[in-house]
Amino acid sequence: MKLGSIKENLEIEKRIAITPEIVKKYKSLNLNIILPKGYGEHLGIFDKEFINEGAEILDNEHKVLSEADVVLQMNLIAEENFEKLKNKQILIGVLNPYSNKEKINKLLEKKINCFSLELLPRITRAQSMDILSSQANLAGYKAVVDSFAYYQKAIPMMMTAAGTIPAAKVLVVGAGVAGLQAIATAKRMGSIVYATDVRLASKEQVESLGGKFLVVEGAENLETEGGYAKEASEEFKQKQENLIKETLKKIDIVICTALIPGKKAPLIVKKDMIEAMQSGSVIYDLAASQGGNTELTKVNEIIDHNGVKIMGDSNILNKLPNSASNLYAKNMFNFVSNLYDKDNKKFSINLEDEIIEKTQIK
């Protein structure tokens, strides 16, 4: 059985789905890896590193797509490559079925078996495959590091003979995986951290990392059975808005991470709230690609509004592509291992397995 992967569109995606370290693991399952020339060169990973671990390098991407039994990608492949795929091939990646519905329907017409890893259920057995958690962890870390780089003051409190520099105050909006890592990173660097989330269960997690949880008066727990945040009522949104508006007056850095799966990101920080912030403050909006958590966020731009910088990268993980690729490739391997029937040496789509059933696009 052959597993293949082709280059992503490097303008929007620098991560890769297969690393040399993971090639060795696939070989241990008697699965062969085929890749096009220069697959990882943009990350400083050269063909000989893949070859040394047992991968086969082919002349072009057309050969990879036509010979592979399973295609492993970061994102959905370009539509121009659909014709190169063969019936009953397996395609695995972050296929984003909510916004790629028409394209995926074309693949289904060709009887391509599509699996989208962002749809994995949040169950214990799927934790090692959870690409949302592994990637969000890095995103939360990098958002804090980049925000601190743009913030033109010291972060920790410093006591000097000339006087005391106060610690920076950070607000993290959304205490999921990215938010919790942002809290931990900001705290380690000496800032005072506040956090807010619609899920009351997050309070204990925030406080365990040294953050201060902002509780909305009369709040109820807005958490789905799958562990994600669900949309809040208008009354809750108004109370949350009032609380955040008052808090933002004393905040230096805001990290926005609030997302609702399959929907536009909730608008939490409005223009008048930003105008109440101190000049020199920084907002990093990790939800930019889904509409943004702030009213002024623009994708892949840094907006300066009355001295407040608002940053909105569409893919912050392009700034950490090697680390992100290593984690993603391991998640992918664990998913493929679950899909592969070692005894019969074939891929088995068992729809009674919750992991397979939830991630397959039909």
Q: Report the C-alpha dihedral over residues 185, 187, 190, 196, rounded to 10 degrees.
A: 110
Q: Which of 5, 116, 130, 290 is catalytic?
A: 130
Q: Is 146 annotated as catalytic?
A: no
Q: Which of 128, 146, 228, 337 is catalytic?
A: 228
Q: How far is CA 5 from the centre of its chain?
A: 20
- Can you tell me the distance from the alpha carbon of 88 to that of 56, in angstroms, rounded to the nearest whole number? 23
Q: Which of 122, 146, 278, 323 is catalytic?
A: 122
Q: Is 122 annotated as catalytic?
A: yes
Q: Is 130 annotated as catalytic?
A: yes
* Residue 324 structure tokens: 């992100």
Instruction: Give me the sign of the Cα torsion angle 267, 268, 272, 278.
Output: negative
- Can you tell me the distance from the alpha carbon of 216 to that of 242, in angstroms, rounded to the nearest whole number? 9
DSSP string, 217-277: TT----B-TTS-B-PPPHHHHHHHHHHHHHHHTT-SEEEE----TTSPPP--B-HHHHHTS
In the chain, the largest separation of any two C-alpha atoms, in whole Å, equals: 74
Give the Å distances, CA to CA, from 120 to 126, 213, 356.
7, 29, 8
Is 83:329 a contact under the CB 8 Å cutoff? no
Q: Which of 133, 181, 191, 240 is catalytic?
A: 133
Q: Is 152 annotated as catalytic?
A: no
Q: Which of 28, 66, 127, 314 is catalytic?
A: 127
Active-site residues, by number, are 122, 127, 130, 133, 228
